[in-house]
Amino acid sequence: MTLNTFRFHTSALLLFIISTCPISAETRQESAKALFQEGYTLYQQYYGAVAITPLEEAAKLGHAEAAYWVGEILRKRYSFITEEAGTFYRQAADGGEVYAMLRFAQKGNMCGTLRDCDYDHKQWLDRAEEAALARAETGDTVAMMELFSVSWMQGNEKAAFNWTLKAAEAGDVVAQHWLAIGLLSEREMGFYWTEASRRNDILKWLRASAHGGFPKAMTKLAEELRKDRQLKEARYWVEQMAKTDYYDAILEGASQIMMGPDVAEIYGPEMSYHFAKARPIEGAALLIALHREKGSQMPLDIIDAYREHLTPEMLKKAEALSKELLVDTPIIYYLPKFGI
């Protein structure tokens, strides 16, 4: 039985129990939460086609965020908001989901086949701002990041930056990462007299997010430290990346661990973290485990690129070790809630 087949049967059993047994409001809420978590994890694994089933059931039980994600899956499936997606977005918006409100605030082909596409987009944007602001004023950093999106859609880049900064200063690891990315990108969020001071803040916020355990920040921090030739610290974060549940982080960390200094020969000197030695068995084992969990070809392609350095005995040991790695660890992608 495949992983997806097992998940399907598990979901089907849970749905059968829910639909055939009278349940209290508390049990209903707990069931909705369990279904949401299952569906959300599957979505973060890029299994949207499978994730939609438990998410729809959670939405039927009144879970507003689950309704939002169903809307997202349907919107991406058709490249615009269908009437069905709109129904789920409305449920989510009525349940307080700010990003659902922002979907209705967007213009252009996002409207898709909605019959009431001439609704007041600004009204939805104002509603989103009001809902997020009420929570942000209580110190809710998630709401502050929602206000980043609201402000950006309003064309107020300064306010967007300030809300992100406020969330970052409050310790939100996603905000810290997003702030660093904003400072790095062409958006040039914030004002700095010198590029050196901007660079210092980029590394400051990436470090804060990475130390807070956010794998995307670890990956970006290692890369930026490598560019700055701060290689000792960069190597530390490569090691940490390999221990996370983030696909890109594991892939890069395992590759660097396997090849060590040989990365320069295979992928170019600019890609090297200058590890003292290669650890081919450890790195290859992690890549094999990653392939087993995700089924993607890239980990095996990286092993093939290093094949002339790997003896049959090494590969045999790596294969054995791989069976102990990433077991019962869903490998996810940390997809943003309000993306494209």
Q: Which amino acid is at 316?
A: K
Note the pLDDT of residue 283. Answer: 98
The residues of the chain scoring below 50 in pLDDT are 1-8, 17-18
Note the pLDDT of residue 153. Answer: 93
* Angle at 334 (CA atoms; ends 296, 127), nearest 5 degrees: 140
Note the pLDDT of residue 127. Answer: 97
Residue 2 lies in a domain: no
Counted domains in the chain: 1
Q: How far apart are CA 47 and CA 40, in angstroms?
A: 9
Q: Which of 227, 217, 221, 234 is nearest to 176 (CA)?
A: 217
Note the pLDDT of residue 120. Answer: 73
Whole-prediction pTM value? 0.89
Q: How far apart are CA 155 and CA 90, in angstroms?
A: 24
Residue 270 lies in a domain: yes
Q: Which amino acid is at 188?
A: E
Note the pLDDT of residue 15. Answer: 52
Q: Which residues contact 330 (CB under 8 A, 6 or more apart)?
A: 41, 44, 45, 245
Q: Which residues contact 227 (CB under 8 A, 6 or more apart)?
A: none
Residue 48 lies in a domain: no
Q: Which residues contact 59 (CB under 8 A, 6 or more apart)?
A: 66, 67, 70, 88, 91
Note the pLDDT of residue 2. Answer: 42
Residue 246 lies in a domain: yes
Note the pLDDT of residue 142. Answer: 98
Residue 68 lies in a domain: no
Residue 278 lies in a domain: yes
Residue 111 lies in a domain: no
Note the pLDDT of residue 118. Answer: 57
The answer to whether 326 and 292 have CB atoms below 8 angstroms apart is: yes
- The 3-state secondary structure of 17-46, one letter per residue: HHHHCCCCHHHHHHHHHHHHHHHHHHHHCC
Per the structure block, which two tokens stand in for 56?
Answer: 């729809």
Domain containing 321: what range?
233-340
Residue 201 lies in a domain: no
Quick one: how far is CA 32 from the chain centroid? 22
Note the pLDDT of residue 4. Answer: 45
Query: Number of C-alpha atoms within 13 angstroms, CB side, residue 96?
Result: 9
